[in-house]
Amino acid sequence: MPPPPLRSLNPLPPLYRYARIGAVSYLNSKPLIETLSKNMDGNGFLSTDLPSRLADQLGRGEIDIGLIPVVESFKNPKFRVISNSAIVCRGPVWSVRLFFRSEPQFVKRVAMDEGSRTSVALSQVLLYEHLHKRPEQIPLRMDEDPRDADADAVLVIGDRAMHPEKLSQEFRLNWDLGEQWYYLTGLPFVFAAWVARQSDWISSEIAEVLDRSRLEGIAAIPRIVERCSMNYGLSKEDCKNYLTNYIHYELDGEASRGLALFRKRCHDLGLIDYTST
């Protein structure tokens, strides 16, 4: 069944007429932004960047709405989730992995991919829950080879985590962090959500545009696969499998419960101070 007709944005007050929107630049965001510019109908500008950079841009007011790591929405009392569209996994995620050079219980230092702060926080939560450890953290630059990191374990996210076989000679095993979270909690994990800096951007019209774009983007996954699979070193079958079976795009009740539990676990570990909703 096709998505319902979208109401025009023309009735919006002047504040909404031009929205600066930022989205993550990974493969998993493609269905959320495939038709977003069209649906904004000239009322917005869409840019893409790394998730951690988007959170900083939103905090500085350089963008109005961002598809940002959810842990950032916990930290800033001015941030609000404004849509039911998000990047979610309900088990293995494939594109977020913690690689171990030795058995996990011996880890003392972890190199953390600087691309996503949510994945960094999730790594800390899982290491503590599974092993009762809080290893030292060092940064892993986006342009740095994980094999060169001076660490016992390395967090790798995004498209370069989707080929674990390339790191198998250097690392003994790896955790798929979505799978580990589901094993621990039985709940989905939310990696990124549409967040606004000002309450003025919380409106049913904006949410409708974002949610309509999600529905259209999911329907367009075959087209996205044709265009993107080769760019990410994936077969068309693997690319489609990732976008349809590993990644989900709705922040429903179960995903919201997973998000609330992650917030609590982050607070319990002292990773965030801000806990109100």
pTM: 0.89
**DSSP secondary structure letters along the chain:** -PPPPPPPSTTS-GGGSSEEEEEE-SGGGHHHHTTHHHHHTTSEEEEEE-HHHHHHHHHTTS-SEEEEEHHHHHH-TT-EEEEEEEEEESS--SSEEEEESS-GGG--EEEEETT-HHHHHHHHHHHHHHH----EEEEE-TTS-GGG-SSSEEEEEGGGGG-GGGGTTT-SEEEEHHHHHHHHHSS-EEEEEEEESSGGG--HHHHHHHHHHHHHHHHTHHHHHHHHTGGGT--HHHHHHIIIII-EEE--HHHHHHHHHHHHHHHHTTS-S----
Strand partners, 153: 100, 110
Tell me how crowded residue 223 is: count the other CB atoms within 10 A of its CB: 12
Instruction: Please list the pLDDT of the chain residue by residue as tens digits (277 residues).
Output: 555 544 444 444 444 457 889 998 789 999 999 999 898 887 788 999 887 788 889 989 899 999 999 999 998 888 999 999 999 999 999 999 999 998 999 999 999 987 778 999 999 999 999 999 899 999 998 788 889 999 999 999 877 788 888 888 889 999 999 999 999 999 999 999 999 976 666 677 888 899 999 999 999 999 999 999 999 889 999 999 999 999 999 999 999 999 999 999 999 999 988 544 4
pLDDT score for 207: 87
